[in-house]
Amino acid sequence: MADNFTSLSHENRIFKPHKDFSARAHIKSFAQYKKLYNESIKSPEKFWAREAKNELAWFKPWKKVLDWKVPSAKWFVGGQLNVSHNCLDKWLGTPTANKAALIWEGEPAAPGKPGEERTLTYKQLHHEVCLFANVLKKNGIKKGDRILIYLPMVPEAAIAMLACTRIGAVHSVVFGGFSAQSVADRVFDSQAKMIITADGGFRRGAVVPLKKNVDDAFPLNDAHGNCLTKTIEKVIVLKRAGNEVAFTPGRDVWWHEEVATVDANCPAEKMDSEAPLFILYTSGSTGKPKGILHTTAGYLLGAKMTSKYVFDLRDEDVYWCTADVGWVTGHSYVVYGPLANGATSLMYEGAPNFPEPDRFWRIVAKYGVTILYTAPTAIRAFMKWGDEWPKKHDLSSLRLLGTVGEPINPEAWMWYHTVIGRKRCPIVDTWWQTETGGIMITPLPGATPTKPGTATLPFFGILPEVVDDQGNAVPHNSGGKLVVRKPWPSMLRGLWGDPKRYKEVYWSEVPGSYFTGDGCRQDKDGYFWIVGRIDDVLNVAGHRIGTAEVESALVSNSKVAEAAVVGRPDALKGQALVAFVTLKTGVTATPALRDELRNHVGKEIGPVAKPDDIRFAEALPKTRSGKIMRRLLKQVASGAEIKGDTTTLEDLTVLTKLGSAED
Ligand code: WTA
């Protein structure tokens, strides 16, 4: 790691933190970062114990900082605390109590019109959370029960999450863009007792029929004959869109009616440090999505510390993370991280370009947003829509910009820096995963010199390394697999109900180390350049999609014989999904069938997983042992051969002889 950044070669553009920013930042210099980082690696238990004591409010102190036996980590063993207490009660009786905790902006009805707006102070949010926690109890929820949350981006999503944590129920938030089948799959796996949903949510002027999707999930069965009626006892429905919904008496209840029947006195449960906090399903390289399990103390400490240091949160900030709460970014950086810091977190319901492409900039100007955290795919879309949209608005309140979800190409970084940041704002490119709970590799804005396209250096306590197939560290500037050598507090504790798969997926590739699934290279300064997934997971517009999941959705259609899904580079989304499909005998490839199959995937998984391109083939290229030659298909998918919308069957078997038998 070079200390003197002026000595770096010219091929790298270096952006040093501005001295005025550094002067006021939590971490003020690179030397200070390094000193703390070195301490966190040399004496992790001492470091984390100090941070946990300073940052979190405990009901009972822990006895042991870390109990680590690969691959099982227990942090702050014997301690007790509560997440909602740390996010809410902690601020009561302080000046923060009357500060905005959540500012919410709904989707506007027409161009130029403001969206609906609502602000909840910490005191008000506490009140709402206590009420709803009592509603959960009244409806039979006990400590440890699982609850599915399937809501639009409205304050009630955060209220429901915090209410679960208040009474020790384990939430599993399902993104509103997932289908009835995905809701059902998550209930089967988590054995949830309750679903919290809404009549509908707004998206680009249309209503997303969330309650109807839940109703459609009830008749579905899994391979073991499970169905929702076996575990789901109650469905709580929020009135949001005002659309008509069916109601099953005894099972379905209205949120507003239930809240009117309870009082607001609900003490926070004392939860063990390692009590399950939430399960979040994410795509892996095989089978159905995996239930990533996070627990109480370690997760909260990670979310809180990274929010504080990476976003350099200050009391007066208006902080906006544009992620949906259905993804981990929404968990850690819309809800838990900012609230645990007493910050003001902005939530927006709609799309970035509805009703017009200046939606984000209008919101930044309206609320005086100071910190903006979004995805490279959104930035690339803004670039395409043109500079005139951000230029129409006063963005001078912004002081810090962040990105997450996929590698950011240097052009997009420079555009973000110049057009949005007006060359004043540092950019934090943050690398992390659903599994890691919080940010892992990132610049600290007052300390770390940045270069467009790299997430730079590890956060405190994180020891990433780039290794070869044998698990040995590779020299700088050679590519390899990204692993993490040491446990960290906010790491996943397992896959819900599947300890074997947990060990296989994350801890067997490089025994003893956490395998991220990402490829990476460190440059001569030790900066980490993430290349992207090296497993069969694609990153489409910042969303993780498993190719195996889309393939099984396709073959579940009776017209499809075989399917192989690969990624191809896409200027806007990073990667696009290309499906190669062979049809059953007698079925003809037509443009209508292509649409039918795309919609079928939408129904099986959700609109986010619809292939961008479906290419019909006579047969798929296979190795002698019968494995589909994906590498070859990737080349075909991204090559010059693309036939666009033609529906003729391609003969890909001719390619087989070109490919390696190893594919
Ligand atoms: C990718 C999202 C490059 C990576 C928080 C990772 C990134 C996957 C970055 C996790 C970044 C995330 N630069 N790639 N700054 N951030 N990724 O679980 O491939 O939805 O493994 O978590 O996104 O996606 P997930």
Position with higher pLDDT, 310 vs 3: 310
| Residue 658 pLDDT | 46
| Residue 286 pLDDT | 81
- In the predicted structure, residue 64 carries a pLDDT above the cut 80: yes
Q: Is residue 647, in this structure, part of any structural domain at all?
A: yes
Residue with the smallest CA separation from ligand 1 atom 15 is 431
The alpha carbon of 203 and the centre of ligand 1 are apart by a number of angstroms equal to 25
φ, ψ of residue 489 to 5 degrees: the values are -60, -40
Position with higher pLDDT, 86 vs 350: 86
Burial group, residue 110, by CB count within 10 angstroms (0-12, 13-18, 19+):
exposed
CA–CA distance, 368 with 306 (Å, rounded to integer)? 23
Cα 524 → chain centroid: 30
Residue with the smallest CA separation from ligand 1 atom 3 is 407
- In the predicted structure, residue 9 carries a pLDDT above the cut 60: no
The alpha carbon of 212 and the centre of ligand 1 are apart by a number of angstroms equal to 32
For range 15-20, the mean pLDDT: 96
- In the predicted structure, residue 570 carries a pLDDT above the cut 60: yes
- In the predicted structure, residue 644 carries a pLDDT above the cut 70: no
CA–CA distance, 80 with 270 (Å, rounded to integer)? 6
| Residue 638 pLDDT | 85
What is the per-residue DSSP string for 18-59?
PHHHHHHSSS--HHHHHHHHHHHHHSHHHHHHHHHHHH---S
Residue with the smallest CA separation from ligand 1 atom 12 is 405
The alpha carbon of 442 and the centre of ligand 1 are apart by a number of angstroms equal to 12
Q: Is residue 576, in this structure, part of any structural domain at all?
A: yes
Q: What percent of the chain has pLDDT above 70?
A: 95
- In the predicted structure, residue 8 carries a pLDDT above the cut 60: no
Q: Which of 327, 379, 406, 442 to mutate to test the pocket of ligand 1 (most atoms within 8 A of CB)?
A: 406
Record the tokens describing residue 541, joined without a space.
């517009």
Cα 207 → chain centroid: 23
For range 336-360, the mean pLDDT: 96
**Which protein residues touch ligand 1 with a CB less than 6 Å away?**
282, 327-329, 404-407, 429-434, 455, 516-518, 530, 532-533, 539, 544
The alpha carbon of 97 and the centre of ligand 1 are apart by a number of angstroms equal to 34
The alpha carbon of 284 and the centre of ligand 1 are apart by a number of angstroms equal to 13
Q: Which atom of ligand 1 is nearest to the CA of 434?
A: 18
CATH of residue 599's domain is: 3.30.300.30
Residue with the smallest CA separation from ligand 1 atom 5 is 433
The alpha carbon of 2 and the centre of ligand 1 are apart by a number of angstroms equal to 26
- In the predicted structure, residue 192 carries a pLDDT above the cut 60: yes
- Where in the sequence is the domain holding 602, given as residue range(s)? 556-657
Q: Is residue 605, in this structure, part of any structural domain at all?
A: yes
CA–CA distance, 292 with 434 (Å, rounded to integer)? 7
Query: Predicted confidence band at 659 (pLDDT cuts at 50, 70, 90)?
Result: very low
The alpha carbon of 256 and the centre of ligand 1 are apart by a number of angstroms equal to 37
Q: Is residue 579, in this structure, part of any structural domain at all?
A: yes
Query: Which stretch of 44-58, 470-484, 526-540, 628-642 has the lowest confidence by average pLDDT?
Result: 628-642
For range 615-622, the mean pLDDT: 90
Q: Is residue 329, in this structure, part of any structural domain at all?
A: no
Q: Which atom of ligand 1 is nearest to the CA of 442?
A: 15
How crowded is residue 170: how many other Cβ atoms within 10 Å of its Cβ? 22
Q: Are 493 and 278 in contact (CB under 8 A)?
A: no
The alpha carbon of 636 and the centre of ligand 1 are apart by a number of angstroms equal to 26
Q: Which atom of ligand 1 is nearest to the CA of 543?
A: 20
| Residue 431 pLDDT | 98
Contacts 24+ apart (CB under 8 A), 595-599: 596/557, 596/559, 597/554, 597/557, 597/559, 597/560
Q: Are 554 and 591 in contact (CB under 8 A)?
A: no
| Residue 14 pLDDT | 94
Record the tokens describing residue 247, joined without a space.
């109601």
Q: Is residue 594, in this structure, part of any structural domain at all?
A: yes
| Residue 628 pLDDT | 85
Residue with the smallest CA separation from ligand 1 atom 14 is 406
CA–CA distance, 340 with 540 (Å, rounded to integer)? 31
The alpha carbon of 563 and the centre of ligand 1 are apart by a number of angstroms equal to 26
| Residue 285 pLDDT | 82
Residue with the smallest CA separation from ligand 1 atom 22 is 433
- In the predicted structure, residue 645 carries a pLDDT above the cut 60: no
In the chain, the number of structural domains is: 1
For range 650-662, the mean pLDDT: 55
For range 173-196, the mean pLDDT: 96
Query: Predicted confidence band at 2 (pLDDT cuts at 50, 70, 90)?
Result: very low
Cβ contacts of 6 within 8 Å, gap of 6 or more: none
The alpha carbon of 433 and the centre of ligand 1 are apart by a number of angstroms equal to 5
Query: Which stretch of 175-184, 339-348, 607-616, 639-648 has the lowest confidence by average pLDDT?
Result: 639-648
